[in-house]
A and B are shown apart, each in its own frame.
Chain A
Amino acid sequence: MKTLEIIIILVISSASTILGADAHQTPITLDKAKELGRMKSRFLNVTDTGVPATRSVPEANVTYFRDFVGPSLKKSCIACHGPEKSEGRLRVDQLNPDLLAGADVERWREVYNVLSNSEMPPEDEPSYALADADRGDIVDWLSGELNKASVMRRNKQEHSSFRRLTKYEYNYALQDLLGLPCTFANKLPPETASEDGFKNSSELLQMSAMQFETYREIGLKALKRATVSGERPKPVTYIISMQEELDRAASGKAAKTFDQNDGNYSQNRNRQHLFDRETGKGIQFSSGKSIPQPEAAAGQTPAVSPVVLVLPRSNELKLNLDRFLPDEGIMRVRIRAGRSTMNANEYASLRLIFSAHTSNNANFSQVISERDIPITASADDPQFIHFDIPLGDIQRNPFRKLTTTFPRRDEFLHIHNVSNAGSRGTPLQVLIDYIEISAPFYEQWPPKTHTDIFVESDDKSDEDIYGREVLTRFLKHVWRRPVTSQEVDQFMALYENYRPGFSTFEDAMLEVLATALATPEFLYLIQRVDANSAEAHSTISDLELASRLSIFLWSSIPDDELLELAEQGLLREPEILTAQVKRMLADPNSKRFSQTFVEQWLGLDGLDSVAHVTDSSLREAMQEEPIAFFDEVLRHNRSIMDFIHSDYAMVNERLAAHYQIPRVYGPHFRNVPIEPKTNRGGLLTGAGILTMNSDGKDSHPLKRGVWMLERILNDPPPPPPPNVPEVDLTDPEILKMTLKERIADHRNKPACISCHSRIDPWGIAFENYDALGAYRTQIQNQPVDATSQLFNKQTLAGMDGLKRYLLTDRQDQLSRAMVHKMTAYALGRPLSFSDRADIDILTTQFRKTDDRLGDLVLLIISSNIFNSK
Chain B
Amino acid sequence: MINNSSYLLNRRSFLHGTGVALALPWFETFAAGSPSSEETPKRFVSIYHPDGVGLPLKSDPAWKDWSWFPRGGENDFELTKVLDVLEPLRNDITIYSGLSHPAARTVHGHSNADQYLTGAATGGHGPYRNSISLDQVYAKQAGEFTRHSSLVLSTNGGVGGPRGAQTQSFNQEGRPIPAMNKPKQIFDLLFVTSSKDAAARLARSKSALDLLIANTRSLGRQLSKHDQETLKQYLDSVRDTEVKLEKAQKWLDTPVPSVDARNLHLDAEPREARLYFQTMYELIYLAFLSDSTRVATFQLGRENGEGPHDLLSMAVGLGGAHGLTHAVKKPKGWENLGTYNRYQAEEFGRFVQRLKDTPEPTGKGNLLDNTLAMHGSASSSFHLSRNYPIISAGGKNLGFTNGRYLKFGKGNEDNQAGAGIVSDAGWRGKIEAEELPLAQLFVTILRRLGVETDTFGGYTGTLSRV
Contacts and interface: CB of A to CB of B under 8 A. Distances in A.
Interface of A: 158, 160, 162-164, 186-187, 202, 206-209, 211-213, 216, 356, 358-367, 395, 397-399, 404, 406-407, 490-491, 493-494, 497-498, 501, 511, 514-515, 518-521, 523-524, 526-529, 536, 869
A508 to B, nearest CB: 10
A365 B208 contact: no
B226 interface: yes
B233 A491 contact: no
A519 B211 CA distance: 9
Contacts of B306: 404, 406
Interface in B76-125: 108, 110-111, 124-125
A202 B230 contact: yes
21 contacts: A162-B230, A208-B240, A209-B240, A212-B237, A356-B161, A361-B108, A361-B110, A361-B111, A361-B304, A362-B163, A362-B304, A366-B126, A398-B160, A494-B207, A494-B211, A498-B207, A511-B204, A511-B208, A520-B215, A520-B216, A524-B234
Contact of B227 (A160, A211, A363, A521): A160
Contacts of B302: 359
Given A162-B227, A358-B162, A515-B208, A526 B303 contact: no
B161 A399 contact: yes
Interface residues of B, number: 48
A365 B216 CA distance: 45
A202 B164 CA distance: 43
A490 B124 CA distance: 53
B226 A501 contact: no
B124 A362 contact: yes
A399 B160 CA distance: 7
Contacts of B230: 160, 162-163, 202, 524
B224 A869 contact: yes
A-B pairs, 8 with minimum CB distance? A358-B164, A209-B240, A358-B161, A362-B163, A162-B227, A212-B237, A359-B304, A364-B162
Contacts of A494: 207-208, 211
Nearest to B197: A501
Contacts of B305: 359, 407
Contacts of A528: 222-223
B307 interface: yes
B231 interface: yes
Interface string B198-226: 00100010011001101110010011101
Contacts of B124: 361-362
Contacts of A514: 208
Nearest to A512: B208
A48 B215 CA distance: 51
Interface of B: 108, 110-111, 124-128, 158-164, 173, 200, 204, 207-208, 211-212, 214-216, 219, 222-224, 226-227, 230-231, 233-234, 236-238, 240-241, 244, 302-307, 383
Given A212-B237, A536-B224, 16 more contacts: A212-B238, A358-B161, A359-B305, A362-B110, A365-B127, A398-B161, A407-B305, A497-B204, A498-B204, A501-B200, A519-B212, A520-B215, A526-B223, A528-B223, A529-B222, A529-B223
A524 B231 contact: yes
A162 B225 CA distance: 11
A358 B108 CA distance: 13
Contacts of A207: 233-234, 236-237
Given A399-B161, A498-B204, A520-B215, A359 B303 contact: yes
Nearest to A487: B215
A520 B219 contact: yes
A397 B211 contact: no
B211 A515 contact: yes
Contacts of B236: 207, 209
A160 B304 contact: no
B51 to A, nearest CB: 12
Given A213-B241, A524-B231, A490 B128 contact: no
Given A498-B204, A520-B215, A212 B234 contact: yes
A488 to B, nearest CB: 12
Contact of B211 (A213, A491, A529): A491
Contacts of A493: 211
A518 B212 contact: yes
Nearest to A521: B219
B226 A518 contact: no
B428 to A, nearest CB: 11
A363 to B, nearest CB: 5
B179 to A, nearest CB: 12
A242 B268 CA distance: 52
A207 B88 CA distance: 53
Given A494-B211, A519-B212, A365 B160 contact: no
